[in-house]
Amino acid sequence: MPFGMIQLSPDTAMPDFHHAYAWAAGYQYGDPTIMGFSHTHFSGSGHSDLGDVLVMPIAGDVKLDPGDATRPGSGYRSRFSHATEVEQAGYYAVTLSDYGVRAELTAGKRIGWHRYTFPKGKPAHLLLDLRPSIYDYDGKVLWSRLRVRDDGTVTGCRLTNGWARGRELCFAMRFNQPMTGRTLYNREQNVPYKGFKGPGNQPQDRNDQNGRALEAVFDFGALGKPLEVKVAISTVSADNAIANLDTDGKGWDFDARRREATAAWNKVLATIDIDGTPALKTQFYTALYHAFLSPTLSMDVNGQYRGPDHQVHQAKDANGKFDFYSTWSLWDVYRAQQPLMVLLRPDMSTDFVRSLVAAAKDSPFGILPVWAYQGLETWCMIGYHAVPVIADAYVKGVRGFDAHEALKVMVASATYKAYGDLADYMKLGYVPIDHEPEAASKTLEYAYDDWSLAQMARAMGGSATAATFMKRSTYWRNAWDPVTGFMRAKLSNGKFREPFDPTFAGYGSDYTEGNAWQYSWYVPQDVPGLIEAMGGKEKFIAKLDATFDAKVDPAHFKNVEDITGLIGWYAHGNEPSHHMAYLYDYADAPWKTQQRLKQIMDTQYAATPQGLAGNDDLGQMSAWYVFTALGFYPVAPGSDVYAIGRPFVPKAVLHLAGDKTFTITAAPFDGLHPYVGEITLDGHPLRQPFLHHGDLVAGGTLHFTMVARPPAGATAGDAR
Amino acid sequence: MPFGMIQLSPDTAMPDFHHAYAWAAGYQYGDPTIMGFSHTHFSGSGHSDLGDVLVMPIAGDVKLDPGDATRPGSGYRSRFSHATEVEQAGYYAVTLSDYGVRAELTAGKRIGWHRYTFPKGKPAHLLLDLRPSIYDYDGKVLWSRLRVRDDGTVTGCRLTNGWARGRELCFAMRFNQPMTGRTLYNREQNVPYKGFKGPGNQPQDRNDQNGRALEAVFDFGALGKPLEVKVAISTVSADNAIANLDTDGKGWDFDARRREATAAWNKVLATIDIDGTPALKTQFYTALYHAFLSPTLSMDVNGQYRGPDHQVHQAKDANGKFDFYSTWSLWDVYRAQQPLMVLLRPDMSTDFVRSLVAAAKDSPFGILPVWAYQGLETWCMIGYHAVPVIADAYVKGVRGFDAHEALKVMVASATYKAYGDLADYMKLGYVPIDHEPEAASKTLEYAYDDWSLAQMARAMGGSATAATFMKRSTYWRNAWDPVTGFMRAKLSNGKFREPFDPTFAGYGSDYTEGNAWQYSWYVPQDVPGLIEAMGGKEKFIAKLDATFDAKVDPAHFKNVEDITGLIGWYAHGNEPSHHMAYLYDYADAPWKTQQRLKQIMDTQYAATPQGLAGNDDLGQMSAWYVFTALGFYPVAPGSDVYAIGRPFVPKAVLHLAGDKTFTITAAPFDGLHPYVGEITLDGHPLRQPFLHHGDLVAGGTLHFTMVARPPAGATAGDAR
């Protein structure tokens, strides 16, 4: 479901940390077998975790791993063929060839729905494995519980020492047909508790179990109809999971649930109607689907959720109840995925902001999430990019949250001295590399975040806060080295660190997942200032061209797995590059923006299993695609301005809040007319390649007249 | 506090499992140092756990253990002298000589109160260690959390893999003076998180921490007045612990809290007034104090508690709210400690019964606790002795609980086939040793439990249930071997297991912590039947004498550490013997009961550090003392009859419910008159050495005329 709590999908592997990057979502297209179906996954993350509540249907004899096995092995895997797969938004099906079982999955907001059709006459089993995790290692499962209740409901919880340390996830599971038997295993002891005679005198017919390596097999005998399974999860308790199941998971009608999921997806995907070839539509709506996956609901039907303090909270603020969302890959999604939601679903943005503010208030530090999921913090990546998410929403008119409360936690996040060396940043105007790693990136990103904070403060009329953070937004200049022409890290003594290699990325560098060629463009809040620093528009364009046109051996970044999708130094596979193609607009060379975008769209996206150039990062890569396909992009979220590129669809109709419609057309739309000749908004020519958010949400029509060659004079600096 | 949630006391060691038996309460008199003060302890258990939230005041420099230390070492221990100790009900003080710190402890219902007086001018610290446990081993702490909140409140939780598997205990701690500094350590990494630069970008000024080996030092500088500390615990959450602290732990007045604790203890100890020497009073009231320690409150101020299903529940039943108690050493306390509460505090018994019934309803198995603490089950020992606890209360007139609901879970417990081989017991009439260990003990104890259930069912008018369980109460006969004259275990084929050694106890034997000499007397529900089986009163007495008079090398039981306090085969240090001295009463030889009781009282109790002959077992050994000192004992709880022995106090006044007073006098009371000549109840001679509960609670006077020698003819079988 869009933003759903459940991400039920097949796992071909639960990789250990050596292989986690490639298997971050549990499924790799090249793998020949499926291990099971688990209920929680990240969409395109770089680091990983989850893979909770893995189940596997088994027909016939159950083959467990031999011996003591605290980590799952190959015992119950099945081969499968991609030819048997059906992948749709809200539905997945595959045939497990070793068992002859047809597996179908769909989901409700908090429920995973399964339907398993077993071969006739073979005894049906469902295996439940609480041992495996995505990004697995010995000792990752700290503790788990499993229980079969009198009414046949299976409940459990597990506490894992994962990316979010000490994460507890509970579940409740029901079947549409009665169990004929069950065995709960504690694989640390290689003894099914059925026959276990341990210390003391516990019941041998164990219907509950505690331990670090629990596995269970539920038997159903030969079935006359498919086995349906429904599973609810909760970050709070097994009882809450049951309540979620009772409320959100009524009845037994897999097909109806599938229709509901399809309808929910159709509803959000219909926010944008495009014309185009089937291939184009597949690619566009796949991207839009990705953009609607996170943040994810992380709250039970009773409004309880687990916060970053690991305590249980109630989702209620000054404006009343709200839905609490987590899964915040903020270093990524503040750029385009969250702005896309502000445009398409401002109602959702309201609850996203309220969730961020609530998380800050629940935080032991009183600061906004950095990289959070299931309510818990991982401290992954840099910056305080929840700030531009909130600022962008506010500046673009999203309301329904307590802006003063929000501003308070934004300021708290931007001034928490012990975080990312903000103490030095505030004192020196930059993060010194002898005190803090990746200092140049931090200085640059803090300065942008500060600018976005100032935009919101100013819009709210708070001139003192606005002035403070506007001043801080200029600190990018402290990273600018006019001698080398790159953004660099300084030492605390004020001198740039030597030696300096603008191509170097990786451990110990001045940058976060990047090098000087990539990070020197990161002043989205003041591109004119950057142009000036770089010596004017011509030099700026020349350096930007040099960045895109450099000859770079991909092996150069072999130690930094995130830097992918290379076009010269430009790395579309990683977020720091995402605004770069649009920067030509600011130097009066929009035709070069158009050219670079075509270059990127042609080479970095494909509706194939390996279609993305890098991690989708919870929808950011896909949101970039959606914006770019529509013809504009939020270079600096927190501003209401979009930079215009060119459409990659012939027609798009945006169905916006308040029944407003915004239509984008491009003609002639073919491979022979890759440049924009003229742009009209409601028939009036646009003089600059920029668009205001207000123009969009008011409704209207944006028409692009496409041309074969850059307009006359454009190559010397187009000043339309 | 009586039945308090907190048991705050010094720990001289947190022993590993090799030494846990001797250090089961954390404190051993012979130890020269104190490691700290922790908040949870069992009183005289055989197995152990707890030792939660250990703190240690430190004056001057803090010496941490060197290196990575996931288990606490000697770094912060201090020497102490017993001469500096003050031990009172509700108060403990000691001087920690290495630091010159005077430590004082008292407690509220849910709060541990500390007062530490530091030497002038030395910086004061409080160390908090979440690593150690009583009965410790590597990996016992599965996970823990620690947080310093903005207002200086320290909160935390830890999950341990202990006796109760997967137990979470949370706490909240406050100080009467502000911290000047703090450091939170994760000792698994040997890095204080203050300076830790780990993955990602987490705040370095960590005010929270997750991990398996957390330790913290709170600094207070040189103090002008003593440091006071208050600590609340909760089995539910840190937030609940804070609520407990807010509600039950107001203000800062250690002396007032100490006075409250003293008053609470005086109130319960004043239930019985005795005359006697100071030494006698010390011994008597020490025993009475022990008997008022458990079960312990296991519920937060909002009525929430953690149940055996590990879920959070609300203490509310058909009769409304109640206090939920746990710490149930039921194999022990059903014998005398719980009956003593029924006599002295039937109001408490009401909530004890409601707690047991609630636990059964929360149990994954729907059965009553076996050995539970903090709401969780350990499955330690045998039988379903919550049944006689409830039956005894009901039969003796305790009300205020839903008796029908209670009877339902009593029957459920007595018929749960997969528990302790009840399946065979119900089918064969005994537990077969080839299917289940310690089978003879189980058959005997089940039969008694069944009888007690029948008593309650009959009293409630349920004749069918009463008949079923009365029949089962005769199953002791299936363990009786007339050939050898002992209770023995049969095989499932109906034959007694061979070879047979009536002196053998230990792994693989027919019995639980006992041998045939000890267990053959276990038919408290039908002593006349046992006498008949043994060939009549004379043979019965002769065999009982042989049991007490046997020459037994204590080394015989060196592998069964619980079998201690030997008088022949009689083992006063363990519960199966506790009713034995009273059995002479049933064979018309009460003078022999009197003689044996004197022998036991003279040798098995002393008001000294090693004064008890074995584990107090949560007050059972002490309750035996209290009953016996008063002159009577509940041989078969579930019946309203007490067997009379002889008083060991010259006068006792029992202040019972409804302002009733029952007075016991004995004269002449001296060492020269150890036998009972005549007993009068309200002036009327008693013809039999038995007393009814109704006689006691109605109020009255029981007078013992003591004599120098057994009455005439008594040695041939006294038939008064």
The reported pLDDT for the residue numbered A240 is: 97
Determine the length of chain A. 720
The reported pLDDT for the residue numbered B261 is: 98
Query: Could you tell me the CA-to-CA distances from B445 to B253, B370, B487, B573, B600 in Å, in that order?
Result: 49, 13, 12, 19, 24
Token representation of residue A306: 């687990």
Q: Do B203 and A150 touch (CB under 8 A)?
A: no
Chain segment A111-126, per-residue pLDDT in tens: 999 999 999 999 999 9
In angstroms, the separation between the Cα of residue B679 and the nearest Cα of chain A is: 44
Contact criterion met (CB below 8 Å) for A337 and A290 = no
User: What's the DSSP call for residue B119?
Assistant: P
Name which of B335, B351, B225, B254 is nearest B299 in CA terms.
B351
Nearest 10 degrees: CA dihedral of B298, B303, B305, B311? 170
The reported pLDDT for the residue numbered B193 is: 37
Name which of A30, A32, A36, A29 is nearest A11 in CA terms.
A36
Q: Could you give the CA distance from residue B328 to residue B135 in angstroms, rounded to a whole number?
A: 18
**What are the strands, taking DSSP E only, across B351-459?**
371-373, 376-377
Instruction: Kindly state the helix (H) or strand (E) to which residue B220 belongs, with its residue range.
Output: strand B214-222
Whole-number mean pLDDT of chain B? Answer: 94
Contact criterion met (CB below 8 Å) for B47 and B513 = no
pLDDT score of B329 more than 80 = yes
Contact criterion met (CB below 8 Å) for A40 and A162 = no
What pLDDT band is residue B462 in, cutting at 50, 70 and 90?
confident
The verdict on A412 touching B (C-beta cutoff 8 Å) is no
Which residue's entry shows tokens 């291939």?
A279
Contact criterion met (CB below 8 Å) for B720 and B687 = yes
Please tell me which of the candidates A205, A311, A370 has its beta carbon nearest to residue B418.
A205
What pLDDT band is residue A18 in, cutting at 50, 70 and 90?
confident
Residue B267 sits at φ, ψ, to 5 deg, of -65, -45
Q: Do A200 and B142 touch (CB under 8 A)?
A: no
The reported pLDDT for the residue numbered A188 is: 81
Choose, out of A201, A311, A377, A417, the residue to mutate when testing the contact with B (most B CBs < 10 Å). A201
Instruction: Kindly state the helix (H) or strand (E) to which residue A254 belongs, with its residue range.
Output: helix A254-269
What pLDDT band is residue B73 in, cutting at 50, 70 and 90?
low
pLDDT score of A560 more than 70 = yes
The reported pLDDT for the residue numbered B204 is: 67
The verdict on B138 touching A (C-beta cutoff 8 Å) is no
**What are the helix and strand counts (H, E) for chain A?**
17, 40
Q: What is the mean pLDDT of residues A433-446?
A: 97
For the four alpha carbons of B456, B457, B459 and B460, in that order, the dihedral sign comes to positive
The reported pLDDT for the residue numbered B20 is: 76
Chain segment A653-665, per-residue pLDDT in tens: 999 999 999 999 9
Q: Could you give the CA distance from residue B623 to residue A457 in angstroms, rounded to a whole number?
A: 71
Whole-number mean pLDDT of chain A? Answer: 94
Please tell me which of the candidates A145, A311, A371 has its beta carbon nearest to residue B310.
A145
In angstroms, the separation between the Cα of residue A200 and the nearest Cα of chain B is: 4
Number of Cβ atoms within 10 Å of the Cβ of B609:
11
Chain segment B365-385, per-residue pLDDT in tens: 999 999 999 999 999 999 999
The reported pLDDT for the residue numbered A378 is: 92
Under 8 Å CB-to-CB from A410, ≥6 apart: which residues?
Answer: A368, A384, A386, A387, A390, A391, A453, A456
Q: Which of A210-214, A339-343, A538-542, B669-673 has the lowest mean pLDDT?
A: A210-214
Under 8 Å CB-to-CB from A553, ≥6 apart: which residues?
Answer: none
Q: How far is CA B167 from the centre of its chain?
A: 19
User: What's the DSSP call for residue B605?
Assistant: B
pLDDT score of A135 more than 80 = yes
Q: Which of A197-211, B106-120, B582-596 has the lowest mean pLDDT?
A: A197-211
pLDDT score of B716 more than 60 = no
In angstroms, the separation between the Cα of residue A497 and the nearest Cα of chain B is: 20
Q: Do A142 and B147 touch (CB under 8 A)?
A: no
The residue ranking higher by pLDDT, B63 or B312, is B312
The reported pLDDT for the residue numbered A540 is: 98
Chain segment A378-391, per-residue pLDDT in tens: 999 999 999 999 99
Q: Could you give the CA distance from residue B697 to residue B701 in angstroms, rounded to a whole number?
A: 11
Please tell me which of the candidates B161, B201, B437 has its beta carbon nearest to residue A381.
B201
Contact criterion met (CB below 8 Å) for A479 and A443 = yes
What pLDDT band is residue B353 in, cutting at 50, 70 and 90?
very high
For each of the domains in chain A, give its residue range(s) and CATH number, in order of start.
Answer: 9-269 (2.70.98.10), 272-716 (3.30.2080.10)
The residue ranking higher by pLDDT, A608 or A116, is A116
First to last CA, chain B: 44
Name which of B488, B545, B556, B547 is nearest B516 in CA terms.
B488
Which ipTM value was assigned to this complex?
Answer: 0.86
What pLDDT band is residue B554 in, cutting at 50, 70 and 90?
confident
Contact criterion met (CB below 8 Å) for A633 and A585 = no
pLDDT score of B568 more than 50 = yes
What pLDDT band is residue A714 in, cutting at 50, 70 and 90?
low
Choose, out of B163, B186, B201, the residue to mutate when testing the contact with A (most A CBs < 10 Å). B201
What pLDDT band is residue B195 in, cutting at 50, 70 and 90?
very low
Q: Do B437 and A205 touch (CB under 8 A)?
A: no
pLDDT score of A583 more than 80 = yes
Angle, CA A699 vertex, CA A698 and CA A700 arms, to 5°: 125
pLDDT score of B712 more than 50 = yes
Determine the length of chain B. 720
Q: Could you give the CA distance from residue A650 to residue A670 in angstroms, rounded to a whole number?
A: 9
The verdict on A379 touching B (C-beta cutoff 8 Å) is yes
Query: Could you tell me the CA-to-CA distances from B714 to A208, A651, B674, B676, B710 in Å, in that order?
Result: 57, 114, 14, 11, 6
Q: Could you give the CA distance from residue A485 to residue A32 in angstroms, rounded to a whole number?
A: 50
Q: What is the mean pLDDT of residues B477-481?
A: 98
Number of Cβ atoms within 10 Å of the Cβ of B719:
12
Q: Could you give the CA distance from residue A154 to residue B191 in angstroms, rounded to a whole number?
A: 41
Which residue's entry shows tokens 């330790």?
B215
What pLDDT band is residue A328 in, cutting at 50, 70 and 90?
very high
Q: Which of A63-77, B406-420, B480-494, B635-649 has the lowest mean pLDDT?
A: A63-77
The reported pLDDT for the residue numbered A204 is: 66
Please tell me which of the candidates B207, B211, B379 has its beta carbon nearest to residue A200.
B379
Contact criterion met (CB below 8 Å) for A53 and A26 = no
Q: What is the mean pLDDT of residues B77-97?
A: 97
The verdict on A200 touching B (C-beta cutoff 8 Å) is yes
Number of Cβ atoms within 10 Å of the Cβ of B602:
12
Q: Do B208 and A159 touch (CB under 8 A)?
A: no
In angstroms, the separation between the Cα of residue A664 and the nearest Cα of chain B is: 41
